[in-house]
């Protein structure tokens, strides 16, 4: 592209532009003090993406990425669902414009996701109390949920599990929410136990919110039982706590039905809750940023108010969410054949993850019996925390080219037919070492 000299000059700006085009503007002629990038004191590196950068710079051909949270299949590919490809072809054939879809996004998509998340029967019975908005992925849903919470109750605190997805914390900080922790997992001893969780919530005050991952807990993979969900719903009722349900791995645990039981219990037993849902994992739409935030309100009047708040918050942050991914999910869920195809593909993924868990457990229980590997068969979903110290994780990285997050979180789908044996040998060798710390 060739830039031409500007002819008209009304206020002197064209002379400056022409100098810039012709390369005549020197640094000495600018009195402006640089303001961008002046300080990095407030910038913290994301540990997972920092790990990914290290992985990319590693020149070893047999390196193994077990860090980044993207599903990979048995040949180390992150495939596009066939159902998604069919829906994309439908989209190409039928899309007539690229107009804005509005701050609340694709509402038929939200309706379809609410039926998927709650189950059609329960969703239908609660529909008059649902206030929802399409969001740019799960992070967008969490940010809007946290900001809604801060707007409606500035004095509340948000309770997070002591071991959680690391991005939960900066999102909550950005919304201005004070944070508290409830007991869930001890890196040294493992699961804290449900009674410890309840005991830590004794300090919660009415109006506080508690963030709960409904299935496939990231990073531990350890979920609450149905009985524990019922008990927790009772505690929330008694103490006046608002649950925020993070639903990021629906269908990657046991099944679509089983993975939503905690949400169903909470919705049936409590007057209010917030749901943050993402299609990144269970539809493979990572880069298409497809999510939803939903408020189950106490009555229809409050529903209308929350809808207005969703619209205000969305407009403030991004104005309108991306349309593409939501249109694909809507088409898949509303088309009988595509829905069957998608469910079959999702079941194949979840079955593979369960098989990988079992295979790792069998191998390491035999090759490194000094460690307890039972968490693998007790857990669900893509992630588990391996009982490895930071020095052991560093050794895996340096000596074997195996990249694991420093807290021990492992993406189990990163194990595949190409690397399984070598990875098991390396982890067993490090786990047998007497040196930890």
* Separation CA 138–CA 339 (nearest Å): 22
195's CB contacts (< 8 A; 6+ apart) are none
165 catalytic? Reply is yes
Cα dihedral across residues 394, 395, 400, 404: positive or negative? negative
**DSSP output for 255-306:** -HHHHTHHHHHHHHH-S-EEEEEE-TTTS--GGG--EEEEEE-SSHHHHHHH
**DSSP output for 56-75:** HH---TT-EE--S-----TT
**Helices 336-367 and 324-334: crossing angle, nearest 10°?**
100
* Separation CA 372–CA 24 (nearest Å): 69
Closest CA to 404 of 389, 418, 419: 389
* Separation CA 293–CA 291 (nearest Å): 7
Catalytic residue selected from 208, 281, 288, 368: 281
The CA angle 246-310-212, to the nearest 5 degrees, is: 15
Closest CA to 135 of 348, 317, 257: 317
* Separation CA 127–CA 110 (nearest Å): 11
246 catalytic? Reply is yes
Contact 212, 229 (CB under 8 A): no
* Separation CA 316–CA 103 (nearest Å): 9
Q: What is the Rg, in whole angstroms, of the alpha carbon atoms belonging to the chain?
A: 25
Q: 129 in helix, strand or coil?
A: helix
φ, ψ for residue 246 (rounded to 5)?
-95, 115
Closest CA to 55 of 42, 43, 64: 64
Catalytic residue selected from 117, 145, 165, 288: 165
Residue 291: asked if its preceding bond is cis (omega within 30°), the reply is no
254 catalytic? Reply is no
Catalytic residue selected from 246, 259, 326, 431: 246
Closest CA to 156 of 170, 145, 168: 145
281 catalytic? Reply is yes
Element (DSSP H or E) covering residue 432: helix 420-432
Q: 15 in helix, strand or coil?
A: helix
Q: Between β-strands 273-278 and 64-65, what pairing exists: parallel, antiparallel or unpaired?
A: unpaired
List, by residue number, the catalytic residues. 165, 246, 248, 281
């Amino acid at each position: 592209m060739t830039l031409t000299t500007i002819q008209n000059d009304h206020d002197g700006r064209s002379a400056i532009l022409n100098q810039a085009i012709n390369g005549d503007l020197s640094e000495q002629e600018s009195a402006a003090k640089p303001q961008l990038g002046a300080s990095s004191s407030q910038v913290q590196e994301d540990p997972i993406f920092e790990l990914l950068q290290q992985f990319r710079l590693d020149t070893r051909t047999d390196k193994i990425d077990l860090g980044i949270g993207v599903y990979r299949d048995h040949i180390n590919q992150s495939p596009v669902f066939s159902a998604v490809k069919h829906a994309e072809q439908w989209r190409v054939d039928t899309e007539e414009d690229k107009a804005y879809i509005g701050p609340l996004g694709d509402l038929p998509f939200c309706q379809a996701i609410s039926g998927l998340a709650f189950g059609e029967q329960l969703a239908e019975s609660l529909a008059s109390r649902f206030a929802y908005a399409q969001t740019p992925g799960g992070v967008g849903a969490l940010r809007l949920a946290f900001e809604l919470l801060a707007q409606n109750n500035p004095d509340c605190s948000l309770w997070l599990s002591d071991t959680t997805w690391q991005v939960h914390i900066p999102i909550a900080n950005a919304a201005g929410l004070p944070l508290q922790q409830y007991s869930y997992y001890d890196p040294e001893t493992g699961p804290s136990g449900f009674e410890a969780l309840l005991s830590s919530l004794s300090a919660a005050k009415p109006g506080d919110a508690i963030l709960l991952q409904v299935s496939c807990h990231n990073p531990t993979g350890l979920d609450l039982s149905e009985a524990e969900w019922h008990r927790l719903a009772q505690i929330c009722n008694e103490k006046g706590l608002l649950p925020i349900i993070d639903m990021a791995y629906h269908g990657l645990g046991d099944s679509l039905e089983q993975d939503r039981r905690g949400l169903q219990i909470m919705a049936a037993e409590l007057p209010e809750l917030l749901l943050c849902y993402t299609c990144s994992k269970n539809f493979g739409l990572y880069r298409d940023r497809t999510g939803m935030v939903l408020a189950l309100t106490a009555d229809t009047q409050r529903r209308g108010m929350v809808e207005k708040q969703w619209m205000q918050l969305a407009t403030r942050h991004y104005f309108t969410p991306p349309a593409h991914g939501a249109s694909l999910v809507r088409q898949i869920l509303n088309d009988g054949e595509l829905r069957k195809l998608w469910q079959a593909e999702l079941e194949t993924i979840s079955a593979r993850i369960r098989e990988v868990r079992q295979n790792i457990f069998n191998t390491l229980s035999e090759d490194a019996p000094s460690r307890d590997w039972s968490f693998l068969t007790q857990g669900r979903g893509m992630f588990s925390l391996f009982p490895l110290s930071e020095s052991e994780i560093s050794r895996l990285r340096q000596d074997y080219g195996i990249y694991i997050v420093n807290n021990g979180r492992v993406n189990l789908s990163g194990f595949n037919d190409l690397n399984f044996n070598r990875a098991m040998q390396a982890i067993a060798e490090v786990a047998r070492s007497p040196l930890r710390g």
